[in-house]
Amino acid sequence: MLEVGTKAPEFELPDQNGELHKLSDYRGSKVILYFYSKDNTAGCTKQACAYSELMPHFREKGAVVLGVSKDSVASHKRFEEKYALGFTLLADPNREAIEAYDVWHEKKLYGKVSMGVVRTTYLIDEEGVIVFAKAKVKAADDAENMLQVFEA
């Protein structure tokens, strides 16, 4: 996980519509950048739906939400449409941002060891500096916790 106070790495990734997004496109806005493992899984769906539900509050605070996984553009599009998500999903199949943000790690599930995305959320300020970082977040609580970070 990257440290608070460091410059957030630049990236250029396609969204669920195939349009490219760079972190620098969001200069002047706060960015909630969250990394998750896979579209349409129970935890990731809860997390995405919670962010979508709280989007009016994040917009009110001048923040954008970007969800990143290594799923494809097409997978993100299906995920967005199925749950009427109100924010941008970025496809990172080559793990460009996933590795730059240090969220690709060894994981254990039921005794099986594999590499994967550790669910991590960053808050990046208007100047592109990481001001909050949390790894191993609980999917269902992440959006509400980030709203509390804004209110603190």
- Kindly list the catalytic residues: 44
Q: C-alpha angle with apex 15: 77 to 68, nearest 5 degrees? A: 95
> How far is residue 89 from each of residues 5, 106, 107, 148, measured CA to CA in Å?
25, 24, 23, 22
Asked if 136 and 35 touch (Cβ cutoff 8 Å), the reply is no
Residue whose entry in the numeric block shows the structure tokens 């935890």:
43
- Give φ, ψ of 52 to 5 degrees: -60, -45
- Other CB atoms within 10 A of residue 62 CB: 11
- Which residue type does 138 have? K
Distance in angstroms (rounded) separating the CA atoms of residues 130 and 122: 7
